[in-house]
Structure 1
């Protein structure tokens, strides 16, 4: 694969498996409001979208105030359960370490809150290892808007053609396309290879190791 100077990653289902915590928190809110027929797989299929979008998909609720209330309940549950139920994929640390050793800049662009990402990664990576983290609280328009990705590129002062965005979902693929940067899909999540292949990409791989091969 072509070498880039900057590698920007999605978080959930790309660098880490937080599905256990996500399902637990969604299940908590859904059960509170009587939604008992929703499967874990249906919840996992919404990972990568905003909480409001996910709850709307799962419950068919469209009222903004109701969705905001569900989000607030989710965040409260996540403060207790998310980090302890989130695990980096086996190759994540070695791939990130090798890219950094090779002189690349590394960042994360996610709909997940930045503080929650930092809470986990501060236990796994040296301080200042990542060059930038853009979380859901840092943008006005979430992915697939390119806002967060373009902000990172501008902040790091790197050319788009030297930047690769890596993610697991069609939302990530759309984000890269909208930003005008190359995209690599990783098959850690619930999105299939054929779904990712519908978007421009430089590679689709079972895991992150392709980045250092």
Structure 2
């Protein structure tokens, strides 16, 4: 069944933000006097929000777990320039345009805070989206299903009429908890096994074909 709304994750799904996240994480750790993480480490830490990203960087450096101060430093560095090095994933503009042309409503559900999310969407001219739910839009963050359910409500459809497109185990777990169809796009920030039966797509163009395969 072709959905009435499609909601996307951002990092690793529509954009590759690893360069900017790695730069901010490395500068944060250097500022605090700790070992900066490698890009591969940062990519494996992405998906659970800024707090967990920073906490994992501290743990990897063997540093005291003073995440509150480290998060403040990270946000100052990252929010000042979340765009450098970021690029749109292959097929992202095409899938958004194709869905819009079919009259399908578009949503975004990310654990990234709203301010840098807006900066990135504007800077890359990505969208427009009918609903945007960010990591600080609600008290809960993915994999809690509340943000995804909130996005569906903003789009005015039932969960059974929507699909979620993501790239990580966090996205998959969120969709399962929200009882929503999930399409997993390879090539993002997958660091843990996916739930059994997950629909895998090799690319965003593959996800588009899967969505229209009724």
RMSD: 2.0
SS of 1:145 mapped into structure 2: coil
CA deviation after TM superposition for structure 1 residue 80, in Å? 2.7
**Structure 1 match to 2:116:** 116
Q: Summarize deviations over 1:68-122 as a string: whole Å, max 9, x none.
A: 2111111111123311321111211111000110110111000112222222222
Q: Distance in 2 between matches of 1:172 and 1:199?
A: 14
**Structure 1 match to 2:73:** 73
Q: Distance in 1 between matches of 2:92 and 2:126?
A: 14
- Superposed, which structure 2 residues align to 1:123-162 within 5 Å? 123-125=123-125, 129-162=128-161
**Structure 1 match to 2:203:** 207
SS of 2:206 mapped into structure 1: helix
Q: Distance in 2 between matches of 1:37 and 1:121?
A: 28
Q: Is the 8 A contact 2:82 2:119 kept in 1?
A: no
Q: Is the 8 A contact 1:95 1:212 kept in 2?
A: yes
What is the count of residue pairs matched by the alignment?
206
Q: Is the 8 A contact 1:107 1:130 kept in 2?
A: yes
Q: Quick one: structure 1 residues 69 and 5, their matched pair in 2 at CA, closer, same or farther if it must change by over 3 Å?
A: same
1:3 and 2:14 correspond: no
Unaligned runs of 5+ in 2: 210-214
Using the size of structure 2 for normalisation, the TM-score is 0.88
Q: Summarize deviations over 1:148-178 as a string: whole Å, max 9, x none.
A: 1111112222011111111111011111111
Q: Is the 8 A contact 2:172 2:182 kept in 1?
A: yes
Q: Distance in 1 between matches of 2:75 and 2:196?
A: 32
CA deviation after TM superposition for structure 1 residue 131, in Å? 0.4
Q: Distance in 1 between matches of 2:5 and 2:79?
A: 31
CA deviation after TM superposition for structure 1 residue 211, in Å? 3.0
**Structure 1 match to 2:184:** 185
Q: Is the 8 A contact 2:47 2:189 kept in 1?
A: no
Q: Quick one: structure 1 residues 126 and 188, their matched pair in 2 at CA, closer, same or farther if it must change by over 3 Å?
A: closer
Q: Distance in 2 between matches of 1:43 and 1:158?
A: 35
Q: Distance in 2 between matches of 1:123 and 1:136?
A: 19
Structure 1: which 4+ aligned runs deviate by more than 6 Å? Answer: none
